Structure 1
């Protein structure tokens, strides 16, 4: 049965089933304990006295279990579930390689030293191993393996290993024959040569044990749970052996689905031919490849050779020195341990290397499966530790740096720069869970610390979820605690980059971060959140400015503030004695001092559009009102009702606008996504495409009833012809304004990414 399973698997893999040209298939040795359980279950029900029924039922159970294993393997491959191996940490596979190496060394000791049963880490075992006779029996094979490793270090030829192991038995028999007192039978009895197996039994003898009339079907049915347990255990080996072999043979284009289908076919065929489970054996394949058998022809020849040995019989085994097999097993064990522990030194992180060592020790001293389970557990723990070290806060900006894309006039820009530190943006990223949320809570508390509050008080704290992929229950609850902490410091928490009905939004709502009774302002993107905060500060600014100048505000031009996207923030009050109110009042007074007299007072004797031109261009030119008066006759007043589209993307730029009142909304359609900005009174619109004579890059629509002054292409041609100095200065101003806008947009893109 062993030979049939090996031949079937080898033919399937070598004839194209597997991606490994030199892959070696063999019986799945690890399932033998399950076979024992199935056999004992059947024997307990059928009875020892019914030997024929026991054998017939047991051998049929073995073959059926192989068919079931094959079906499960094939279904996994057909459903393309092999990609799940990508979630299996590579250092766990390395640890398994080392564990197999330890297991092979232990096996070599058991075979060479003739231990009764498995090796146990006891004093009696140590005494047995250091006995002079037994020490020589396992010490010589161990020394032979070490010598071969030294030779391989200097000679890389693939024929070194096979020639070496052909030479060892030749030297052994030369030594034996040179000593007359040494006889093969004595050496076989002592344990230097394998025992002679029973001869005369045909290779097809196990087929005579199949007798469906003698099968106890009830007992067979009772072994089904063991069959499925065996199948599950067998499945665990493929995701471990195949990727490990791919690493060792440097096969990069591994398709695990293909390997699963190949295993399904080989196991199903093996069961149908009356044999047992098989799989692609890591150690045998690695030895075969390193000996030069990395081709499908070599694999096919191996199958033919195995079939020949099966037919001839195992008579040759009785003449093979034990040291040959022992040295071979020692060699594989040493190489795998070196690959796992020596070659990875300095390449793995210390926690990954520790995990590899724990897996190796657990597999060697305890159990192979337990080693894998402990490795997976340690990988999960190390993942939590390493992930928690990476802050979930991608970046932190104040409102001085993080600005909305609203195109504001110079006075508003100066004021927002002075008060921007009262806006704080925390950009969150990744999947937030119990291991990463702690850093967010800690930094939030640090921002709200009393010392920071006195020097740089915060009024609005924006938590941007634009780059957050999800959060667990612990992280969601942490935001509830953070909200309570933030509110006790009279700071308003704002959420951006989250939709109420998204997965993140549902998680936050489920723990009460916001609800209908106590809503938290939520914005679809960071730009909208920043715009709303800036509007609140500007409202306070205009209110205080009107009080300072003891007059009613000009609703059209002097308070050009965009809409708040249906979200209501707590007002930024200039009254009170809190650090925020005092700081806000100081920012207002500083800006008013820099501004000087109101524009309407400063240019009271002038007629529009000259006051508008001077107010809009004041930061970009040193020319006086006499110079810019020359521009007025080329401009035409245009009324733009709400909802009117001034121009669209791709249109020819025929006009340039200076906005006197109202608000325009500009929408950019980029390959990376859409970007929106507001244009308020006292700013320009459409200057770059107009002066550069290129197509429009955005669509501009009036959000409110607006008034603008338009410079058409025809009038621009007149300016260039009649007043070249004015044309040059206008171009210079437009370039400066464009530079400011590009800097603002670039800053927003960088802070929002």
Structure 2
């Protein structure tokens, strides 16, 4: 509070105060025009005689919201007023409240006021909850076409409400020809012409004084024409060109709490769906406007603070019976762009509205309906142009159709139905688009990848020859009913292309998936049944426990481990398939009638075995010559070579036996890599100190040499030739 007071005192300097007073005056006049327009829109048709009383409501709410946000916003020149979209939505509900109250019992004015109080206070409470729990970012995910459709619908409501303000009754759009009779033409044509003129001017010029100056000139011109035509003010009022006057010049107090007894609560509660829509509309409008201010001012704004600030403003609007509102983009930027970036601009605007509230009742009664209706129609035209004409250039046609569908639904049935339709259409469109995102990241056969298990050459040759019997399918993303059906078809077609008399294996890897819905489980169950009939054995790797449990509930085959098995790790699953293929191949070799297979296998591996023996002999010779530069380690089976977290700056060369790399928990069955004679462990340790993230154990009785980086440097210094041969061993190992 002290810092706020000091800030206001600091801004009383002439260089800040004078621009603030000027801009505040203009904003205050704009607030008065908007307050009168929104009151005329809400109290229109059969209750248009109550519009001047309604101005007291909107002006009071405007000045209170303006003060609250000016003092608490993180953006100093922020201006909050009752806004067009909430007022447009409420006007539809107000007309139905009025109709039900007129045909029944109760005070029409107080019934509409009760609806305004409920909607604004609930809006304030809703924004307060959003700010308290920092939920504002969640609402930023509302689909863009839904927001566009809502704004286009607001434009339609504003445009149609402007006709109702000017005509004094709701126009019959099914039979519009009566509007072209002279008595009706005089009511709506001048305001429409003013709206079109302003629309054209504002699209060509952007001066902040253009709109208020044109509206004031329009009002002056109206009275000049009235004077020269011989019409009195009373005659003009009877003709529907002016608002009714108040007995007192003051616009406040508008009502007393004793009048609350005349509320028709049944009519109010009947419009609860409309009233409960307004908080969401206010939040969306606030997010859009604050985001626009943030972008236009190139300043970072605390969105959560803005929501909290506007929640206070709406609480005050509710206590005064005003429609809900939120920060205005154009008015907030007016002070920032003109050097009046101070809270004094908003406070000055509030003071102007307060003066009007106290003594401006007679002035409001002199304001022509055509000018106010034209201002409303202008807002409607701007919305419709932006979101029906200009939006077509920015959106793909599917999103644009959603905007049009929402607009038609709002014009036909109302805001709530239009927004619901837009969300449903966006969800359907999202499902269609998301289902087109491929969840099959990769698919390949066994020969292109092998498990890290160290195998003898004959087994490696078998896997190279028979590896096509293993089909691997790597999945990614979220699996749901829209994407899994095409995925299942892809897996089915790729497996159908295989032509083997022996068993086929399909590894479906879920390691990179983020989730699976229940519909996807059903699709996988159908796939399992089809593959089972074809003799294909399915291996799931990395699948969640929930998925496997649900899958068991969907198919009776899940208990048959001959056709289905699951592993936590992909390499485990791949190794299981390889073991099965090797076993089947060796079983066939051991049959007496399959001697040609044994001969072919021996011929394939003989040369490679000799080459490997020569390499091992060469490694033995090198190790024998440089063993003095190493630490020799003799490990029993299962004994740890490297512990997780152990820091090393050197390499291990395996001379005899073998070593396996396992997960940090030391579960040996989860083997990630196997090393045999001539292989090097911790190769990066040659260049830098490395902290191990895995556990390395001896898979059998082993002899391992540890060469530190210092010993390797010493070897290179004393015996460069032997060091070169040692480096060739390291290079050969890194290429395996």
Counterpart residue number, 2:702: 707
SS at match of 2:647: coil
Shift of 1:188: 4.4
> Quick one: structure 1 residues 221 and 291, their matched pair in 2 at CA, closer, same or farther if it must change by over 3 Å?
closer
In structure 1, which of residues 308, 321, 326 is the aligned counterpart of residue 373 of structure 2?
Answer: 326
Correspondences of 1:304-315 after superposition (within 5 Å): 304-315=351-362
Correspondences of 1:91-490 after superposition (within 5 Å): 91-112=145-166, 114=167, 116-117=169-170, 119-122=171-174, 124-125=175-176, 127-131=177-181, 134-135=184-185, 137-177=187-227, 179=228, 181=230, 184-191=233-240, 193-200=241-248, 202-208=250-256, 210=258, 232-246=276-290, 249=293, 257-270=304-317, 273=319, 275-276=320-321, 278-280=323-325, 285-286=328-329, 288-289=331-332, 296-406=343-453, 413-449=460-496, 452-454=497-499, 459-490=504-535
SS at match of 1:646: strand
CA distance in 1, matches of 2:603, 2:489: 39
CA distance in 2, matches of 1:590, 1:131: 102
Counterpart residue number, 1:511: 554
CA distance in 1, matches of 2:507, 2:431: 27
**Is the deviation greater in 697-706 or in 386-395?**
697-706
Shift of 1:446: 0.5
Asked whether the equivalents of residues 395 and 426 of structure 1 are also in contact (C-alpha less than 8 Å), the reply is yes
SS at match of 1:21: coil
CA distance in 2, matches of 1:39, 1:109: 18
In structure 2, which of residues 661, 669, 693 is the aligned counterpart of residue 666 of structure 1?
Answer: 661
Asked whether the equivalents of residues 140 and 287 of structure 2 are also in contact (C-alpha less than 8 Å), the reply is no
CA distance in 1, matches of 2:247, 2:393: 54
SS at match of 1:425: strand
Residue 15, structure 1, aligned to residue 71, structure 2: yes
**Is the deviation greater in 28-37 or in 85-94?**
28-37
SS at match of 1:705: coil
Shift of 1:381: 0.9
What is the CA deviation profile of residues 235-276 of structure 1, one whole-angstrom value per residue up to 9, with x for unaligned ones?
A: 2322332234345545596766545534543344455x5x32
Residue 686, structure 1, aligned to residue 696, structure 2: no
> Quick one: structure 1 residues 539 and 727, their matched pair in 2 at CA, closer, same or farther if it must change by over 3 Å?
farther
CA distance in 2, matches of 1:694, 1:458: 47
What is the CA deviation profile of residues 180-223 of structure 1, one whole-angstrom value per residue up to 9, with x for unaligned ones?
A: 556555544444x41342332654454545279xx59xx99989
What is the CA deviation profile of residues 401-450 of structure 1, one whole-angstrom value per residue up to 9, with x for unaligned ones?
A: 3433345566655543443332222122222221111111110110122x
**Is the deviation greater in 715-724 or in 152-161?**
715-724
Asked whether the equivalents of residues 505 and 577 of structure 2 are also in contact (C-alpha less than 8 Å), the reply is yes
SS at match of 1:436: helix
Counterpart residue number, 1:656: 653
CA distance in 2, matches of 1:626, 1:70: 82
RMSD: 4.5
Shift of 1:370: 1.2
What is the CA deviation profile of residues 266-315 of structure 1, one whole-angstrom value per residue up to 9, with x for unaligned ones?
A: 344455x5x32542258xx3564576688643333332222222211421
CA distance in 2, matches of 1:111, 1:43: 19
> Quick one: structure 1 residues 291 and 103, their matched pair in 2 at CA, closer, same or farther if it must change by over 3 Å?
farther
Asked whether the equivalents of residues 104 and 330 of structure 1 are also in contact (C-alpha less than 8 Å), the reply is yes
Residue 521, structure 1, aligned to residue 571, structure 2: no
In structure 2, which of residues 81, 84, 92 is the aligned counterpart of residue 24 of structure 1?
Answer: 81
Residues paired across the two proteins, number: 659
Residue 735, structure 1, aligned to residue 731, structure 2: yes
In structure 1, which of residues 594, 612, 624 is the aligned counterpart of residue 604 of structure 2?
Answer: 594
Counterpart residue number, 1:641: 636
Shift of 1:353: 0.9
**Is the deviation greater in 77-86 or in 224-233?**
224-233
Counterpart residue number, 2:31: none
Counterpart residue number, 2:574: 530
> Quick one: structure 1 residues 704 and 458, their matched pair in 2 at CA, closer, same or farther if it must change by over 3 Å?
same
SS at match of 2:247: coil
SS at match of 2:391: coil
CA distance in 2, matches of 1:487, 1:188: 86
What is the CA deviation profile of residues 529-577 of structure 1, one whole-angstrom value per residue up to 9, with x for unaligned ones?
A: 22332333344555667x49x9xxxxxxxxxxxxxxxxxxxxxxx99xx
Q: So what's the TM-score if we normalise by structure 2?
A: 0.76
CA distance in 2, matches of 1:290, 1:70: 24
SS at match of 1:424: strand
CA distance in 1, matches of 2:149, 2:115: 34
Q: So what's the TM-score if we normalise by structure 1?
A: 0.74
Which structure shows the higher helix fraction?
A: 2
Asked whether the equivalents of residues 58 and 322 of structure 2 are also in contact (C-alpha less than 8 Å), the reply is no
SS at match of 1:492: strand
Asked whether the equivalents of residues 654 and 677 of structure 2 are also in contact (C-alpha less than 8 Å), the reply is no
> Quick one: structure 1 residues 254 and 518, their matched pair in 2 at CA, closer, same or farther if it must change by over 3 Å?
farther
> Quick one: structure 1 residues 374 and 67, their matched pair in 2 at CA, closer, same or farther if it must change by over 3 Å?
closer
What is the CA deviation profile of residues 127-186 of structure 1, one whole-angstrom value per residue up to 9, with x for unaligned ones?
A: 023335544653443343333333334433322222333333344445555x45565555
Asked whether the equivalents of residues 243 and 365 of structure 2 are also in contact (C-alpha less than 8 Å), the reply is yes
5+ residue gaps, structure 2? 1-56, 665-669
